[in-house]
Amino acid sequence: MGIFWALLGAALAVGMAGVGSAKGVGIASEAAAGVVVDDPSKFGRLLVLQLLPGTQGLYGFIVAVMVLLNTGILGGEAPTLTAGFVFLAACVPIAIGGLISGMAQGRVAASGVNIIAKKPAESSKAIVSASLIELYALLAFIISFLMVINVNTVTAAVA
């Protein structure tokens, strides 16, 4: 029964963080498309802003793979019910953090596209602004990562 909860956590981590990334990349890419049509030489600078919101999906994917590696799906042994709940809890930070920060980063990146459209020399300011949100995605990823690698310690303490 623990495997169900662990897999639910993995699905939420990759799914919710992936949705945040997809929405964020979509928002930034829509804004960039209009600029590239008018000035294709700005594509390289805009590409960075389009890619930034995609990292949340990657973080969720890494956490999900780590869960799969530790639950008997890709290696390890099937988790107990308690361990399954702990895996689920471990996936929540990147699931929620990835969803929210991916969309927020996409909106800030879209604003950065406007900066590059009007003043290409100020592209670093646009990139730095969008990168600030990355900190919160990284914090969520690190917490999920640390929780997943310590599931056995937590379940041993509970038992």
Can you give the CATH number for the domain in which 15 is found?
1.20.120.610
Query: What mean pLDDT is reported for the chain?
Result: 94
Q: Is the pTM of this model over 0.85?
A: yes
Domain carrying residue 52: 2-152
Q: What is the pLDDT of residues 75-107, one digit of tens each?
A: 778 899 999 999 999 999 999 999 999 999 999
Res 159: pLDDT: 66
Q: Lowest-confidence range among 13-17, 24-28, 122-126?
A: 122-126
Residue 158 vs residue 9, higher pLDDT: 9
Res 77: pLDDT: 83
Residues with Cβ within 8 Å of residue 137, at least 6 apart in sequence: 55, 56, 59, 94, 97, 98, 101, 102, 105
Kindly state whether residue 145 falls inside one of the protein's structural domains: yes
Kindly state whether residue 30 falls inside one of the protein's structural domains: yes
Could you say which DSSP state residue 75 is in? S
Kindly state whether residue 158 falls inside one of the protein's structural domains: no
Kindly state whether residue 114 falls inside one of the protein's structural domains: yes
Q: Which of 142, 130, 113 is nearest to 52 (CA)?
A: 130
Kindly state whether residue 88 falls inside one of the protein's structural domains: yes
148 confidence band (pLDDT: 50, 70, 90): very high
**Once rounded to an integer, what is the mean pLDDT over residues 28-53?**
94
Residues 5 and 85 sit within 8 Å (Cβ to Cβ): yes
Kindly state whether residue 159 falls inside one of the protein's structural domains: no
Res 110: pLDDT: 96
**Once rounded to an integer, what is the mean pLDDT over residues 105-121?**
95
Kindly state whether residue 157 falls inside one of the protein's structural domains: no
Q: What is the total count of domains within the chain?
A: 1
Kindly state whether residue 57 falls inside one of the protein's structural domains: yes
Res 158: pLDDT: 72
